[in-house]
Structure 1
């Protein structure tokens, strides 16, 4: 194969970050202000929110349903708004390999729209990582119930769901924390996670952590994936990173590592990153992980991180080999066939062809154009 042919065959994965609803849109807008190169889009029913965030790539949905206002906490209005403008969503997903959806749950647009968007993304063949912030307890039982129900629906079409529990991000010691800062914490966690994943997939690494690795992690984690990140600077940066991760609230102060079924660890540093620092971080984290854990790690070099060290860890609480590979990223097959006597039944969904941009046939909140085994998440035996 010639060099030109190789260049056509191998390409960097296309990652799109999609903010949905007012909370998700604001979070993604903050990300793009820090990293203008981030491929991102904001989606909401509220025209005031979309105008205020100042993003160029934004989609107003449900104009004839909410008339430019928010969905007012009505989940059904959020669902209808996305269904009505689903063709615009499909256009955004052309050539997307990994879709990262960012939203706050408990409201109408995020909770109602996300299950529809994840379904459309899976139909388009994208790997779907959903990153959602769940409500504080004081927001009320109804809001929390809406969030819980949304997560149940998201499981049908998300490859993995990262739950950022606002309640876990604060504790009694934060009682005097300004309300604005408390709510902003989940946005900061989302930004850290997306920037870290983006760096690992797009920067040259001294130890490879590629799209196939992330793909394997997400498709085997059985629905939920936990996330934490940490940064350190100076001579003790490796020690700082480890201590931060082992005390991280989103990892239940390190206890989630002890029962992890799978983990992806990514480190980013400058050209001054030493092998001894990589060894220190990986050794101490592996001491907390079970011996049989599925583990992969990568190291990316970024000149902007001179004098600094950043770490991200994705943790799967469960690990389940899927019978059916729903994902078709970049035409690659990730079934390594380690046991010649067993294998996966690879049923391909090639899309709708010339009908890709047609409105779906919806009945009882189900897209009848999607095969039943995918629509109802039925595992097919060989």
Structure 2
């Protein structure tokens, strides 16, 4: 009797969802969807006009009974109430999502009020959560800056990592004659570069090892914040252009943050004409600015659409802290434990929501939501 070969088990790919929240986030995600219709994206806002103009297939209008279809008018509490009122729609979108990327501008009402709530819901659903937050210009006033900072504190309570994209840092005095539309669009372009790079990592096979587990490790260990930079080039000197663009990127404080970093993920994307020497040039130039003992992981994706071009992104962590305990809901970042149910003999590390207290502000201390049971906040597995 001959042994029959074991059937091959099909492993599902990690699923990524991009969620644009508030007017700025919706516009950014709508632009991404136009460039890449394959991107799984959803737009969320209180303003019906913003959602109509977005022309995106998946939209969620929240707070209809609260704002009557208008914006939150800069009122953070209205933004929070709107998303809490329609939280069931958010939970539906998060089914079977492994990585949620939230794109939003902070400093206003809907984004600043809604994003912390969405992050909490996503965490309860077992998704890995990355927030790309556009921070206001200085001329938008101290109140907008204060609102954005308070929102960041609430977001950090549940998000795996936050990327703060400083509009102020993306422009300088030499850009005085830059059209206003282009100045405001720069943060959207940074978000687009980051989202597309993550999407390519998850949807396309790379020729050099970098996958979702690397992203999972980075986000779990970066102590809440990471920085982002992107660069691209074309022609014979594209590798030099990309290397220089990363090494002196404005969002990395013109390279100064690299010298103090403790963890870096680099993803390169090129066409079939990509040469090994070009990969070496970019990585060698980047490592000249990095500490010797840094946690570094990089990957290369070959995409025919990039023939003649080379693009790169870098996720940079200033802090690196090994998790004290495992997160049973999101082990290895693929959420498979969540889909299969908790291990026998252990209480599930998840909550069922706040019920009648859903509209009450959470009790925040040291960036932790004390309304969430301690064993869940710390990822401690308890016996039944």
Task: Report the equivalent of 1:197.
Answer: 198
Task: Report the equivalent of 1:313.
Answer: 314
**Where in structure 2 are the equivalents of 1:238-317 lying within 5 Å?**
238-317=239-318
Cα offset, 1:11, TM superposition:
2.0
Range with greater deviation from structure 2 (242-251 or 163-172)? 242-251
Pairing 1:144–2:145 present? yes
Cα distance in 2, alignment partners of residues 374 and 42 from structure 1: 33
Measured against aligned partners, the alpha-carbon deviations of 1:44-63 in whole angstroms (never above 9, x if no partner) come to 00001001111110000001
Task: Report the equivalent of 2:341.
Answer: none
Contact 2:126 2:335 (C-alpha < 8 Å) held by counterparts: no
Task: Report the equivalent of 1:14.
Answer: 15
Cα offset, 1:325, TM superposition:
3.1
Cα distance in 2, alignment partners of residues 237 and 243 from structure 1: 10
Cα offset, 1:200, TM superposition:
1.6
Q: In 2 relative to 1, CA 166–374 (structure 1 residues): closer, same or farther, beyond 3 Å?
A: farther
Cα distance in 2, alignment partners of residues 196 and 37 from structure 1: 14
Cα offset, 1:179, TM superposition:
1.0
Cα distance in 1, alignment partners of residues 199 and 207 from structure 2: 16
Q: Which runs of 5+ in 2 are unaligned?
A: 338-345, 364-368
Contact 1:262 1:293 (C-alpha < 8 Å) held by counterparts: yes
Cα distance in 1, alignment partners of residues 375 and 305 from structure 2: 43
Cα distance in 2, alignment partners of residues 3 and 34 from structure 1: 42
Q: Which runs of 5+ in 1 are unaligned?
A: 334-346
Cα offset, 1:5, TM superposition:
4.2
Cα distance in 2, alignment partners of residues 227 and 3 from structure 1: 43
3-state SS of 2:71 partner: coil
What's the Cα RMSD here? 2.4
Contact 1:323 1:380 (C-alpha < 8 Å) held by counterparts: no
3-state SS of 1:254 partner: helix
1:362 to 353, 358, 365: 358
**Where in structure 2 are the equivalents of 1:125-274 lying within 5 Å?**
125-274=126-275
Measured against aligned partners, the alpha-carbon deviations of 1:194-231 in whole angstroms (never above 9, x if no partner) come to 11111122111110211110000000000100000100
Cα distance in 1, alignment partners of residues 355 and 92 from structure 2: 12
Task: Report the equivalent of 1:98.
Answer: 99
Cα offset, 1:23, TM superposition:
0.3
Task: Report the equivalent of 2:31.
Answer: 30
**Where in structure 2 are the equivalents of 1:38-53 lying within 5 Å?**
38-53=39-54
Cα offset, 1:12, TM superposition:
1.2
Q: In 2 relative to 1, CA 363–36 (structure 1 residues): closer, same or farther, beyond 3 Å?
A: closer
Measured against aligned partners, the alpha-carbon deviations of 1:334-369 in whole angstroms (never above 9, x if no partner) come to xxxxxxxxxxxxx874546xx78x967426323999
Task: Report the equivalent of 1:65.
Answer: 66
3-state SS of 1:288 partner: coil
Cα distance in 2, alignment partners of residues 207 and 348 from structure 1: 39
3-state SS of 2:288 partner: helix
Contact 2:99 2:129 (C-alpha < 8 Å) held by counterparts: yes
Measured against aligned partners, the alpha-carbon deviations of 1:361-380 in whole angstroms (never above 9, x if no partner) come to 426323999742277x4586
Instruction: Count the aligned residue pairs.
Output: 363
